[in-house]
Amino acid sequence: MPTVLEKVVYTAKAHTTGGREGRSTSDDGLLDVKLSPPKAMGGAGGATNPEQLFAAGYSACFMGAIKHVASMKKIAVPADASIDAEVDIGPIPQGFGIAARLAVSLPGLDRAVAQDLVNTAHQVCPYSNATRGNIVVDLRLV
């Protein structure tokens, strides 16, 4: 059953032309990226691809979820916290699919506390909620 929003607090808008060999821009002009398939997929490379954008979006959103959960639990997130995201693309029976890996670094936090933040953030993060049950997502505390 799809998740229904209780209320819309923001709507991101982007305009894309040319698909994987095109350009995407946001309605406010802050995002303006040339797109190109990576060389590994037979493209020219040299420009951003949708998987990179997904990796950046998921990792940024997940860090936001960690910070939200930490504030609710009165835990300070280390200033040097980071997430390395990887997004794979490959064939599936119906066409193509993706898989994601997030390596979360929360230096200086007790490992059990950090793992609890990661686990709880995975329940809160919109990207995690959107992908749950649809793609493989591997979360790892490093």
Listed by start position, the domains of the chain span 1-48, 49-141
pLDDT category of residue 3 using cuts at 50, 70 and 90: confident
Fold category of 49-141 in CATH: GMP Synthetase; Chain A, domain 3 (3.30.300)
> What does the pLDDT look like over 86-114, one tens digit per residue?
999 999 999 999 999 999 999 999 999 99
One DSSP character per residue, the chain reads -----SS------EEEESGGGSEEEETTSS-EEEB---GGGTS--SSB-HHHHHHHHHHHHHHHHHHHHHHHTT-PPPTT-EEEEEEEEEEETTEEEEEEEEEEE-TTS-HHHHHHHHHHHHHH-HHHHHHTTTS-EEEEE-
The fold of the 1-48 domain, in CATH, is N-terminal domain of TfIIb (2.20.25)
Q: Which residues contact residue 107 at a Cβ distance below 8 angstroms, ignoring those fewer than 6 apart? A: 78, 80, 81
CA–CA distance, 127 with 58 (Å, rounded to integer): 6
Mean pLDDT of the chain: 97
Quickly count: other Cβ atoms within 10 Å of residue 7's Cβ: 4
Cα 102 to its chain centre, rounded Å, is: 8
pTM over 0.85: yes
Task: Give tens-digit pLDDT for 44-98.
Answer: 999 999 999 999 999 999 999 999 999 999 999 999 999 999 999 999 999 999 9
